[in-house]
Structure 1
């Protein structure tokens, strides 16, 4: 009887000892899983360029690297000295400004495009020069709907950032070249590549001065000015009046100068109407100069409408360049 009781007690103690470590082990595993889960899901907004280590690699000149052998730019690259490009920072398409290069990529003639070859070539090269991967995934449809109208280059060459598009995004931080942002995507038919060298915006617009007008007329024989008028009218706007005042100052500085005032428009709308409006605007400038005390015999005015474009009327930017007033030196 006593031997049976002792045997039962010993068995109970053995079972208790075996169970205790198992419970502790379960707690440790649970704790480790929680820790791994927290590490795997970074909080939104966690990327900070200031926390990215500098690369001391020799990167060369913009756009910094070539395409892999056997691949080529499908069309003419979109290349701008200053623009904006959207990159997926923590899954949020964020605007970054600077020098921009965007291309569609295809295989050379006689070659087959390989998604794996394209992506691995670029990823390996970027890592070799100290780039840090920021994002590798897709943006949600809601995110695309939120941002895409803000992108002035949406749908253009090399455009990246569509819903369900697999995007790989890297950053190279350098002391000499600044921050360089690279994103690319591909399928098994073609690829896309964006490179941006971050730069701050530098204002290049300066106020028109009488001295600049005199210099242009003396050295070039003409001065091209952009004088604002009220919409579809010949009334000079407030800021346009400031430019006309500078013309008056220029003519007072150089009393021997005689000028022809020419009005020009883009090719939007009716040609006859445009010519009439440009003529009225040129004459409005003449009348204002006479009011400033410039002798009328030193002036003439004529409108040419869209007959003499400065550049081709093939974009809104170029059309704006054609809507101008030219002062032409008369001998």
Structure 2
């Protein structure tokens, strides 16, 4: 009898242990599944192919570029704004270039405030969804993808740049009947964030052939004409395109025998200042000698180089530096 009671008691203990083990196993599996769910939130989503035509049109009032303000308490640090440029956005985890009007900025809290990643991300998530944006991607950029594309992005390292290996990006698209396709991406960490907005536009060619009429009009109306005559790199040799521009100058001078001009060469601030001044002087002289060879009296011409001493704009970007590398024709009264 005692033996039977002892066996029964042991059976209860064994059953209880089995039940406990199963319960613990269930908890462990549940926790494992929860961890897996959390992990998938930062894995690049590659389930579908992107086609802008499949994005429904937004019915929201979008405002004007860059379309929305920052959340209260946040500010930008010298945002980059360009009328036309390229920006890379993650399509199925692949950084893909789009062109158009571009806004890029680093985001930081106002003085005395603390940055909240959750506040920044939720503010943008909620607003974008409210105006009809569609989330395209929410995940990390792999090292392999960064290594593949980063050298193609000439804005790498500039204000608001993102798309680095291991960086988590949220990417939305707004399709508007009035304002076209708008691409928005942002990323954040505990101390600040970055925001990119691009309004897709086709490239518009604005370069036009320099004509004698244009030069003459500028000299009459403004007293000077700014030309971008092409020279060989770091030399004073005029290229074939530059020769055509000089022929247009000669045409103007032949039309008006009383016209006298000063030819002024200018550079950006890259490199040695003395070298730049010599280079600009040699280029101005090259233009003058070409005009003399085309029959223009030397007494009607003068040439001088200023190097980087008289910039049109600040030498703070490649676009501005290109504007400063010029030849000016100044009317001598």
Say yes or no: TM over 0.5: yes
Listed one character per residue, the Cα deviations across residues 206-263 of structure 1 (whole Å, up to 9, x for unaligned) are 1110001001111111111122223444332111100000001111222321111222
Show the counterpart of 1:291: 293
Show the counterpart of 1:71: 74
TM-score by length of 2: 0.80
1:158 aligns with 2:124: no
CA contact (8 A) 2:45 2:139 kept: no
Over the aligned positions, Cα root-mean-square deviation in angstroms equals 2.2
Q: Secondary structure at the match of 2:81?
A: strand
| Structure 1 residue 43: Cα displacement | 6.1
Listed one character per residue, the Cα deviations across residues 104-128 of structure 1 (whole Å, up to 9, x for unaligned) are 2233344332222221221111111
CA contact (8 A) 1:244 1:289 kept: yes
| Structure 1 residue 297: Cα displacement | 2.5
1:260 aligns with 2:262: yes
| Range with bigger deviation, 180-189 or 236-245 | 180-189
> For the structure 1 residues 306 and 71, does the alpha-carbon distance in structure 2 shift closer, same or farther, using more than 3 Å as the test?
closer
1:147 aligns with 2:160: no
Q: Secondary structure at the match of 2:78?
A: coil
- How is 1:95-106 mapped onto 2 (pairs within 5 angstroms)? 95-106=97-108
Show the counterpart of 1:182: 184
Show the counterpart of 1:239: 241
CA contact (8 A) 1:229 1:235 kept: yes
Task: State the alpha-carbon separation in 1 of the partners of residues 132 and 314 from structure 2.
Answer: 44
> For the structure 1 residues 157 and 43, does the alpha-carbon distance in structure 2 shift closer, same or farther, using more than 3 Å as the test?
closer
1:51 aligns with 2:83: no
Show the counterpart of 1:15: none
Q: How many residues align?
A: 290
> For the structure 1 residues 234 and 203, does the alpha-carbon distance in structure 2 shift closer, same or farther, using more than 3 Å as the test?
same
Paired residue for 1:135, among 134, 137, 140?
A: 137
| Range with bigger deviation, 104-113 or 75-84 | 104-113
CA contact (8 A) 2:46 2:93 kept: no
Structure 1 unaligned blocks of 5 or more: 1-40
Listed one character per residue, the Cα deviations across residues 47-101 of structure 1 (whole Å, up to 9, x for unaligned) are 100111111211111111122223222x121222211111000110001111111
Show the counterpart of 2:94: 92
Task: State the alpha-carbon separation in 2 of the partners of residues 118 and 269 from structure 1.
Answer: 42
| Range with bigger deviation, 136-145 or 116-125 | 116-125
1:118 aligns with 2:120: yes
> For the structure 1 residues 81 and 273, does the alpha-carbon distance in structure 2 shift closer, same or farther, using more than 3 Å as the test?
closer
Task: State the alpha-carbon separation in 2 of the partners of residues 180 and 148 from structure 1.
Answer: 22
Listed one character per residue, the Cα deviations across residues 190-221 of structure 1 (whole Å, up to 9, x for unaligned) are 22211111111111111110001001111111
Task: State the alpha-carbon separation in 2 of the partners of residues 168 and 161 from structure 1.
Answer: 11
TM-score by length of 1: 0.81
Listed one character per residue, the Cα deviations across residues 144-203 of structure 1 (whole Å, up to 9, x for unaligned) are 111112112212222121111111111010100100111111223222211111111111
CA contact (8 A) 1:214 1:254 kept: no
> For the structure 1 residues 283 and 45, does the alpha-carbon distance in structure 2 shift closer, same or farther, using more than 3 Å as the test?
farther
Paired residue for 2:173, among 165, 171, 174?
A: 171
Structure 2 unaligned blocks of 5 or more: 1-43
Show the counterpart of 1:275: 277
> For the structure 1 residues 169 and 248, does the alpha-carbon distance in structure 2 shift closer, same or farther, using more than 3 Å as the test?
same
